Structure formats: structure tokens, C-alpha cells
Amino acid sequence: MTDQTVILDALRLGKEELAFYQKATGIQDQDKLQEHIIQVAKKALEIYPYHCISTFGFIRFRIRRSQSSYTRLLELGSSRPDALLLDLGCCFGNDLRIAVEDGYPVHNVIASDLRAGYWELGHELFNSTSSTFPVPFIAGDVFDEAFLSIRPPFRDSPDYLVDVARSILRTKPQTLNFLRGHLSAIHASAFFHLWKEEGQLTVAKKLASLLSPVPGSIIFGSQLGSVEPYEEVIDENGNSFYRHSPTSWKDMWEREVFGGEGLVTVEAGIHHNASDASGDMLWWIVTRV
């Protein structure tokens, strides 16, 4: 799922997207805005040539793909003073920025990605700095135990208060482990489909340990999926990833991640791509009860 060059015909901004990027970048001229986006995308491909960069998929609001999930996120942001939100696999930070634009408190937002260069390019894309968009960014590999290790989901509140986690954030940590049990919301889109079935289960278990046990806390997102689950080979070298179905995805979270003990409810569905079934997207939300 990689591409070496940008596909210019894929850069099409909808009315709402255009208005957001004009406001967020400060570039009002549509042609100049598109050229700005193209130049940032080209730099991003030099870091790693993800398909979603070459096709400008990164400009879409994936966090809004399920409107009901997004509504619940914004409700958490307005109803819980300490509703920390982590965007894992944040890339340029587009989704976090639209969430903040829509009212999520910026002081409760955290970003993370494997490659710090994408986050830095996000500042270039949006003509911002760490002062004008003061969101903590933590780079790391989700499979690195020092960055994020597996432990059982929390049943009770963590041993230390969220204020302690906030103080650690200010020290520019190189791990997510200190956030265990403190995150009210975790967003992960175009993320899980990077791996095979076993890898996806491992990541899910890690994220479950970060989630607050307070009822209503959520993990949500979207990725490539299918009505029936299967492993898809993506190149001549035999590299592959696993496409979950709504049913297999729900079973993984309820039974394998949270132990089948009724700790969560899981909702999932398929957004069908009318022109190409390979583009079918699985949307989902895991909610603590």
C-alpha cells in the first residue's frame, strides 16, 4: 500500500474541506492552496510513500467517517473536563485539527505517529507552530514494548490522577505507557489495516490498556474492511494485511481483547465503495460500559 509519486487527479477538495483548509492554512486562493498541499505531500512521500499520501487521502476527515462516533467524541470533550483524546497514527494531524475546530478542547488532545516527520510537515501544511497549535506529539513504534506494552484493561481508576499524566506530557516523553487508564477517547483510522490479523489483535490489546475504565470512554476509527474477513496480498512479494468484517472485528474486541466479560459494547459497519469493493471501509467504535 505504497506509492512513490503523487496522483494529481486525486486532489479534489469538497466544499467543506476547501473551507477548512483555507481557514486552517490562511491560503484563500484555491490554486495556491492546492499547490501548497501538493508540495507538502511530495515531501511526505520522501519520508515513507504511503498510498494515502500519494492519493491525497490524508486530506479527508477520517475522524468524521462515522458521524455517530464523532458526535460521541465531541460530547465527551464537552462533558468531561479531563477527557484526554489520543490520535494514533495521526500523520499530519488533520483529524485532530478538525476536532479542535469543532470544539474539542485543544488542551486535552495528544498526537502520536511512528514518524515524527509527518507531524512536522503538518505544521508546514497548516502554517502553524508548536506554540500556535500546542498539542503534545509522541513518536514511537506501537510494537515497541518500551513505547506501548500490553497489560489487561483497567477495571478501576489508575493509581495516579490525570494531572500527573499531564505533567509527564510536558516533559516530552518517548512512551505512551504513562497514559494507561487515562484516555477517554482513542482515534485510530487507516491504521489497523497495516498488519495481519495477529498484529491487529496485539495493537488492540495495547490500546485497551490505555482506555479509561469510566463508562462511555471510547476507541474508534476506520480502515479497509470487508463483508467477509480475509487476508489480502498486496504485492508480488507476498506481503499482506487482514481485512476484518464487522462481525470478526466485534468478536476480536469483545472476546479476545476484553475477555468476553461485558466490559465493552462494539458497533461496526461497512461503508461500501460503489466503484471498487477493494475500497470498502470498516467503521467501528468500542465503548466501555
pLDDT truncated to tens, each residue of the chain (289 aa)?
566 789 998 999 999 999 999 999 999 999 999 999 999 999 999 999 998 999 999 999 999 999 999 999 999 999 999 999 999 999 999 999 999 999 999 999 999 999 999 999 999 999 999 999 999 999 999 999 999 999 999 999 998 999 999 999 999 999 999 999 999 999 999 999 999 999 999 999 999 999 999 999 999 999 999 999 999 988 888 889 999 999 999 999 999 999 998 999 999 999 988 766 678 999 999 999 9
Q: Is 227 exposed, middle or buried (0-12, 13-18, 19+ CB in 10 A)?
A: middle
Q: CB neighbours (10 Å) of residue 254?
A: 18
CA gap 94, 114 in Å, rounded: 16
Domain locations in the chain?
Answer: 1-60, 61-288
Torsion sign over Cα 87, 33, 194, 67: positive
In angstroms, the Cα distances linking 6 to 3, 39, 41, 56, 59 are: 8, 10, 7, 8, 13
Say which CATH class 61-288 falls into. Answer: alpha beta
- Average pLDDT in the chain: 95
Cβ–Cβ under 8 Å, residues 285 and 63: no
Q: What is the pLDDT of residues 93-120, one digit of tens each?
A: 999 999 999 999 999 999 999 999 999 9
